[in-house]
Homo-oligomer: A and B are copies of this chain.
Amino acid sequence: MAEDNKKATRSHSHKRRTSKKRPPRKQIDTRIFALGGLNEIGKNMYVVEHGDELIIIDAGVKFASEGLPGVDYVIPDYTYLKQNSKKIKGLFITHGHEDHIGGIPFLLQLVPIPFIYATPLACAMIRRKLEEHRLLNETKLIQIDITDPGWSMRTKYFNVGYFNTNHSIPESIGIVVNTPNGRIVETGDFKFDLTPVGRAADFQKMSFLGETGVDLLMADSTNAEVPAFSISEKKVSATIQQEFRKADGRIIVATFASNVHRVAQIVDAAVRFNRKILVYGRSMENNIMISRKLGYIKCPDRFFISNEEAKHLPDNEIMIICTGSQGEALAALSRIANGTHRQVKIKPGDTVIFSSNPIPGNQASVSRVINKLYRAGARVLENSAISDLHTSGHASQEEMKLMFLLTKPRYFFPIHGEYRMLVIHKHLYEQVGGEKDHAFILSNGDSLILRNHEVFPGPRVHADDIYVDGNDLTGLSTAVLHDRQILSEDGMVAVLIAMDSHEGKLLNRPIIMSRGFVYMKDSTDMIREAERIVQSKLNAELKGKTTFASIKNTVRDSLTSYFHQKTRRHPMIIPVIMNKKV
């Protein structure tokens, strides 16, 4: 940042350094790296290590996408943490979203984590997760006191504090890690909402950090491509109320269950327009329950009614709030749209409001749900046509600049985002005076060394993606994934060969089985012909000296070309040899 700032930082840090007795500083570096969250959106996990101490910030999961058939989750490789588990002093959670807490159940199965520090709402969400996985005894959950700005956690080397931010979930915080080599600030997911629903961001604390010296800022890059300043949650709230005013049938609102302030605004709108509330979707029910307990949703009990009670009310006194804003196949809204929801059937006059944007990759499924809702006669309001039905939880470009100006970091490490977002975030840092070679575009596993308030690149740690299918935490091998991809493209053909290798002859006609290749009943001629081809090829081959490997190759080669000629497809050919017991 600007030169005078750097001087201020240095002198302050110096003062702080001399005022406390710490182990000799020059000899130990502080190391910072990501195990997840760089060059991707999701599975955030950052590590700060100093000597025999280590703290973790966030433990997220990423939901697998289309390119990974049959994979449920992607998690970071926890090997480094496992190998260094004795150093771990705690896991700090910035907020309760899945890409920040969803990895905890996986992590706890592999790595002992003594303490998890999180705000009350995030604690409640994590506790529920741990209960589900029966892992509650594996760690100790400690609430960060968000009413005490001076709250901190101290270890031999670290002094860890927090500051309040705005995001699409309440109680989001940034983490401050004071180390013997200098101060690190990690923003978590953040935006600046100048008229937020809920508490304001901690401008004073961020300014104080900037004033007293931030050596390394790690900041959320998700919306680095979005110009200007994000829309306030209050504006969204006004738009929703406006649509409530217009609707004269039932209102069905789908939004993110974790966006507690949004849910609270929707509940408030229902109360204001005298509509009773039905809640559908497990995560929506859970989060409303937790949020009411914590006081984020304030609404008299009598407004929450059962499906039975709703039957006696006119349509314009009913509001349904549910999950499924991303078109998820099993979520409440998808079942409502499909006509397979047990309680709710769409009827003409219904207004369905999407208080959400489709996340990239979900557009097609959201579009399918909307078509079905139209077909059933509903009016559908989406953010793409009616603006301000939703706002992002992430900082746009001007907010990112504001974060730089408040915290005045000497070095910058853009996190949370795909490669181009990290690069654009770095450009923004330079635009407000940051030095080009003071910003680092890294990959998961790359490390930075913080040494006496200077930052430079360090050695790598292992940080591959681990694909989780079912409950297999060792991860799915890429060979298995590759097979699935081939199987899904053209199916497979198994060829069974019973032979007597001693006599050098086939014991039976080869048998061909297939799945996902051609419709067997319509293709008997082709399959019989393929069996004949294999038989004659093998009879010829068995006259001379051969090996099982060579036999398998013969089967593969002859069928690959035959099937391709007949169908232009390339099924996976699996020769199986059953040799006579000798």
Q: Contacts A484-B516, A491-B487, A569-B469 known; A361 to B360 CB distance under 8 Å?
A: no
A374/B420 contact (C-beta < 8 A), A496-B576, A567-B472, A578-B578 known: yes
Nearest residue (CB) in B for A470 is B568
Contact residues, A359-397 vs B (CB, 8 A): 360-361, 363-364, 367, 370-372, 374-375, 380, 384-385
Q: Is A131 an interface residue (CB 8 A)?
A: no
Q: Can you tell how many copies of this chain the complex includes?
A: 2
Give A508-539 interface residues, CB cut-off 8 Å to B: 508, 511, 513, 515-519, 522
Q: With A371-B419, A472-B568 as given contacts, are A511 and B65 in contact (CB-CB < 8 Å)?
A: no
Task: Kindly name the residue among A420, A470, A516 whose own CB sees the greatest number of chain B CB atoms within 10 A.
Answer: A516
The contact of A492 among B39, B380, B489, B515, by CB within 8 Å, is B515
A367–B41 alpha-carbon span in the complex (Å):
12
Cβ–Cβ contact A470 & B363, under 8 A: no
Chain A interface residue number, banded: 35 or more
* Sample of 19 further A-B pairs with CB below 8 A, known A471-B568, A474-B522, A485-B488: A70-B516, A225-B385, A361-B364, A367-B418, A371-B420, A372-B419, A374-B423, A375-B419, A469-B568, A472-B567, A472-B569, A476-B519, A483-B516, A484-B487, A494-B513, A496-B576, A511-B578, A515-B574, A578-B578
| 11 interchain pairs, CB-CB under 8 A | A70-B489, A70-B516, A469-B567, A472-B567, A484-B491, A487-B488, A488-B488, A494-B574, A496-B496, A496-B578, A513-B574
Say whether B69 contacts A66, CB under 8 Å: no
Q: Which residues of B contact A508 (CB under 8 A)?
A: 578, 581
Complex Cα gap A576–B512 (Å): 10
Q: Which of A130-178 contact B (CB under 8 A)?
A: none
Q: Chain B residues with Cβ under 8 A from A491's Cβ?
A: 70, 480, 483-484, 487
Asked if A479 lies at the interface with its beta carbon under 8 angstroms from chain B, I say yes
Given A225-B385, A567-B471, A568-B470, also A66-B515 (CB < 8 A) = no
Question: Main SS of chain A's interface residues?
Answer: mixed
CA distance in complex: A62, B261 (Å): 42
Query: Which single member of B39, B511, B517 contacts A480 (CB below 8 Å)?
Result: B517
Which residue of chain B has its CB nearest to the CB of A518?
B480
Listed from nearest, the 8 A-B pairs whose CB atoms lie closest are A470-B568, A488-B488, A487-B487, A483-B516, A484-B516, A69-B488, A477-B519, A371-B419
Taking a contact as CB atoms under 8 Å apart, the answer to whether B494 and A69 are in contact is no
A446 interface residue per 8 A CB criterion = no
